[in-house]
Structure 1
Amino acid sequence: MRIVNISLAALAMGMASPALAADTEVATIEASQPSEERMALALEAVDLLWPEGQGVDMVNFFTGEFANMMLDTPIAELARDFGMEEMVATFAGIEGALKEEGVAEEDMPSADEMKATADFLLAMLGDKTLREMAVGEDEHFNERVTIIRAVLAEELPPIMNAAEPKMRAIMAQMFAKKFSDQELREIGAFADTAAGQKYVDLYWTMGFQPEYYRSIIAAMPEFVKGFPELGKAMEARMAHLPPMFPEPAAETSCETNDEGEEVCVEAAIEPVEDEESYTETPEELDELAAYYEEEAAEYRRQAAERRAAAEAE
């Protein structure tokens, strides 16, 4: 009886914890059949994630504002906007962590090499935009873009408008299963505020802004530094378990003898010793350096010719 009482007390404490209490509340809501009122409230809440006309708005954004930014911003500027410099700085931040984990220097570029490569690429790109480069390869590029936009503007809205109600209905069912009537009213109330409307208008486009990508890149050093310790903790916790994919100790080979019978023999698998990684000789490294210097000179020559041709036009 004492064990039962202790178990019940432990269960009661667990139920009192916020996580389990929340799970229980959601399970209770899911068990109930959503009323028409709740479904109506849920559909209003869906407006925060997918308001009516969202599909068409997304197409207009990608073919309009976003496409113009990508096409008409100089490539070098785009590279900077989307985090090339942060990427170089990020690599400088994780270089030490990689070395600590035993990654050989010859197996990864240094931060200085990364910066030199980035500077070279930016210099080679110059002030050209993607549109200018595309027009240089295809004189009808702008006309193609105009046609694509016109076709999407004319043909896609009916498709999206036909599919959207079904999507919103399924999302509403999910909301109705996870939220109570009062919670749905609170979500709807927020959607009706000025801040809620601004959130609806901006939240999905913000994920495509350059600042978003730069923030991810800037956070990478912390991930890289933290994951080795995370891996060690996993290994320590699983040390008592057998390997998930154990190496077979033996392999079986079968052959058919003269009498047509299959004869199988099992042989132990000899462990394979790790081969030493190949290291280039100083002479081989000199040859590689000379090759890439020639290649870089050729790229610079082509870039100068294209700039001169553009200026002549």
Structure 2
Amino acid sequence: MKKTLVSLVMVCVMVILLFSGCNQKPADSGKDKKVKIGVALASEAQYRFKFDQKIMKEKAEELGAEIIFQFANYEASKQENQVENLISQDIDVLILNVVSGNMVNLVNKVKSQGIPVITFDNTVEGAEVDLNVDRDNVKVGRLQMEAALKHTDNKGGNFVLVKGDPGSAVAQRISQGYDQVSAEHPEINIVANQFHEAWSPDKALKTVENALSANNDNIQAFICSADSVAMGIVPAVKAAKLDGKSFICGMDVEVSVAKLIHEGVITMSIWSDIVKGDQRTVEAAFKLAKGEKITPDEVQDIAGIKVPVLLVDVMPVTKDNLKQWINEIAPEGWITEDDVFGSK
């Protein structure tokens, strides 16, 4: 009788446990959880970022991930608030295009939450990020300076350096490329050398107006770190009647600059392969979110910290290869032949 009673109690306990287990959710191993990617971009005003957003979104959808975008419009405090908002939305990984290269504390805050950080198109020096995705900006600076020197038949002359934002690691590393080439070529005479906050076209224009005035319009090259500042200086160059004579370059090959390349006003702009770069960035973010390893192109020493890096290919776009770039390389929707050459 006692054995029968014990057996009955055990059966009841097993039935209760069975039914209570049926009402519980299975533990989330993390493997089936949808990856959530946060993207904090410095500005919505820059032409290329709307394409970055489109390309990244398409790749995230292809991988089955959710992706959330924020734009700070070059305001550091705004970007900090936006990143905190992304953290509150339980992102699994952050792609961070910082307003300033000095935002180590922001990176540390994200990392303290156990969230991997990928810096994108701008480096945060001194931050232990999981990955940095960027073009070789020192190479960009060298390409621009070497093209300017070639434009002068290697004679050199008076050069004006129209740089980007002083807080941007991109602008700083491009500047290193300028310094390297100018040190190698004493025939280059730097008559003006200026950074410009927020890549301001208006401030760039003022720099060039002052340089032209101080040198009686005797300037052979205007080396601009981006298309925004290159476009800003064009009125001053035209007023000095140096358009089509002096070298002018930029970076990003925006539509307005492509037109001026065709017209011979701007000599060259540097193109970065944003399609492949964006796709690789999202693929890496997806892997990091799932705890998988990534294979970088190289490991760079950035301010004393070893940082894995994915490199984005760059190429110069000139009048000679402009049509090929439009038809074969530029992302869909960026530009058409009609935009540059006009409708036939």
User: Normalization by structure 1: what TM-score?
Assistant: 0.23
Please state which structure has a larger fraction of its residues in strand.
2
Higher helix share: 1
Larger Rg: 1
**Greater relative CO, 1 or 2 (CA 8 Å, sep 6+):** 1
